[in-house]
């Protein structure tokens, strides 16, 4: 067991405080069908302990697993114009957005935060697949631009966790314009000589892949993640043939030269820490610097109140680990 798993354990309560508590506390692994206790799954960053299948993880949980002590400061993103096209299919876009916000408790499909990774100040942005399929519209564009501005202001590297089902069609051409807009964000970071690292997660498709997600200094992918421009179904319809096993999966992209490494979620924090330090010519990570597995609350860096929003990091509270509490349906 690594440090993350040990440390994340006491934080189970907060993991489930933001979103609806599942009715059934047992989750069936999509891949191996094993019944998994939700707490065990949360401890393992939503990776099946039995087969290693990587399930979706919400941005806040990612940040908790990424930053030292699970502590991070959320960065406010300028809110875009609501429903710029007055779009309506069988449902109004404004209603879809409202439902997505209610379901996820987030404003849009990308969250931005900063914190430390093995003591190195880092800005991170993570996409939320549960928010309208992680689709990229003005909200995501604004988030990445804000993340880049923050990285530049703090002279910190930027790590982005991509996950997107495609474009936010309900924003029409404005969703397409996020391709240049997010590319500008990458340029801003690069111009300052700061690393821009992309972690591609399942699935990363369409305009997100064809913009910032393929412009990283280093591309890391989660195992078996679908990463593509056009989805496999569209391709099968176009070429009218069956695609090979594993087509467009992380390992396939690794073989085809599009990504640098496939790294399981549980190891990403350490790998990113090392990578960023090498790129920034920082001395190696010193394990002794790490907070102890059961850190004291004061081990957490002070959140900056000016930028903090609703993500006041909670110090691990011992009562959260009571199994019977977690087991309440």
Partner 1 sequence: MQNYLDFEKSLAELEGKAEELRALARQDPEMDISEEAERLDHRASEMLRDLYAKLTPWQKCQVARHPSRPHTLHYVERLFNEWTPLAGDRNFAEDHAVIGGLARFEDRPVVVIGHEKGTDTKSRIERNFGMARPEGYRKAVRLMQMADRFGLPVITLVDTPGAYPGKGAEERGQAEAIARSTEMCLKLGAPIVSVVIGEGGSGGAVAFATADRVAMLEHAVYSVISPEGCASILWKNAEKMKEAAAALRLTAQDLLQLKVIDRVIEEPVGGAQRDPKEAISRVGRAISDMLGGLDGMSRDDLRAARRRKFIEMGRVGLA
The site for partner 1 (CB under 8 A) is made up of 80-81, 83-90, 138, 141, 145, 167, 169-177, 179-181, 183-184, 186-187, 206-207, 209-215, 228-230, 234-235, 238-239, 241, 243, 247-248, 256-258
Residue 32 interacting partner from Zn ion, partner 1, none (CB closer than 5 to 8 Å by kind): Zn ion
SS3 label, residue 116: strand
| Pick 27 or 186: Cβ nearer Zn ion | 27
| Pick 236 or 322: Cβ nearer partner 1 | 236
Buried b (16+ CB within 10 A) or exposed e, 295-319: beeeebbebeeeebeebebbbbeee
Angle between helices 59-66 and 265-279 (to 10 degrees): 60
| Pick 23 or 89: Cβ nearer partner 1 | 89
Residue 41 interacting partner from partner 1, Zn ion, none (CB closer than 5 to 8 Å by kind): none
| Pick 48 or 138: Cβ nearer Zn ion | 48
Per-residue tokens: 103: 């379901």
Residue 51 interacting partner from Zn ion, partner 1, none (CB closer than 5 to 8 Å by kind): Zn ion
Using CB under 5 A, which of 3, 19, 40, 50 touches Zn ion?
50
**C-alpha span between 208 and 176 (Å, rounded):** 10
**C-alpha span between 197 and 183 (Å, rounded):** 13
Closest CA to 131 of 103, 153, 152: 103
**C-alpha span between 14 and 60 (Å, rounded):** 10
**C-alpha span between 215 and 186 (Å, rounded):** 7
How far apart are CB 139 and partner 1 at their closest, in Å? 10
How far apart are CB 187 and partner 1 at their closest, in Å? 6
**C-alpha span between 129 and 202 (Å, rounded):** 9
**CA angle centred on 57, ends 17 and 98, rounded to 5°:** 65
How far apart are CB 165 and partner 1 at their closest, in Å? 10
At 171, give phi and psi (nearest 5°).
-105, 10
How far apart are CB 49 and Zn ion at their closest, in Å? 8
| Pick 15 or 77: Cβ nearer partner 1 | 77
Residue 278 interacting partner from partner 1, Zn ion, none (CB closer than 5 to 8 Å by kind): none
Using CB under 5 A, which of 29, 47, 58, 66 touches Zn ion?
29
DSSP character for 310?
Answer: S
Residue 317 interacting partner from partner 1, Zn ion, none (CB closer than 5 to 8 Å by kind): none
How far apart are CB 271 and partner 1 at their closest, in Å? 22
Asked if residues 293 and 3 have their Cβ atoms less than 8 Å apart, the reply is yes
| Pick 52 or 315: Cβ nearer Zn ion | 52
53 binds Zn ion (CB under 5 A): yes
Bridge partners (DSSP) listed for residue 167: 136
Using CB under 5 A, which of 5, 19, 31, 120 touches Zn ion?
31
How far apart are CB 210 and partner 1 at their closest, in Å? 4
Residue 31 interacting partner from partner 1, Zn ion, none (CB closer than 5 to 8 Å by kind): Zn ion
First-last CA distance in the chain: 28
Name the site residues for Zn ion (rule: CB under 5 A): 29, 31-32, 34, 48, 50-51, 53
């Amino acid at each position: 067991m690594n440090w993350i798993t040990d440390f994340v354990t006491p934080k189970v309560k907060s993991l489930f405080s933001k979103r609806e508590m599942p009715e059934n506390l047992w989750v069936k692994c999509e891949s191996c069908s094993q019944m998994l206790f939700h707490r065990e799954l949360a401890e393992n960053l939503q990776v099946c302990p039995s087969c290693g299948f990587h399930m979706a993880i919400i941005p806040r949980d990612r940040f908790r697993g990424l930053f030292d002590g699970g502590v991070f400061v959320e960065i406010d993103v300028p809110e875009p114009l609501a429903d710029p096209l007055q779009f309506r299919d069988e449902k109004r876009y404004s209603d879809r957005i409202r439902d997505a916000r209610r379901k996820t408790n987030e404003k849009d499909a990308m969250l931005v935060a900063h914190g430390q990774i093995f003591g190195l100040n880092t800005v991170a942005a993570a996409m939320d697949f549960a928010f309208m399929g992680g689709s990229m519209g003005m909200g995501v564009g604004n988030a990445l631009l804000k993340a880049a501005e923050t990285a530049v202001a703090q002279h910190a590297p930027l790590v982005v966790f991509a996950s997107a089902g495609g474009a936010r069609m309900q924003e029409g051409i404005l969703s397409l314009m996020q391709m240049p807009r997010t590319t500008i964000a990458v340029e801003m970071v690069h111009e300052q000589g700061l690393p821009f690292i992309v972690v591609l997660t399942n699935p990363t498709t369409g305009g997100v892949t064809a913009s910032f997600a393929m412009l990283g200094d280093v591309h890391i992918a989660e195992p078996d993640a679908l990463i593509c421009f056009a989805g496999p179904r569209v391709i099968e319809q176009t070429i009218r043939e069956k695609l090979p096993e594993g087509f467009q999966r992380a390992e396939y992209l690794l073989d085809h030269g599009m990504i640098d490494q496939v790294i399981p979620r549980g190891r990403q924090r350490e790998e990113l820490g090392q990578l960023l330090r090498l790129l920034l010519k920082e001395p190696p990570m010193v394990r002794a610097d790490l907070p102890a597995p059961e850190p004291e609350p004061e081990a957490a860096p002070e959140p900056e109140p000016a930028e903090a929003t609703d993500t006041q990091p909670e110090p691990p509270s011992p009562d959260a680990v009571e199994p019977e509490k977690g087991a309440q349906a």
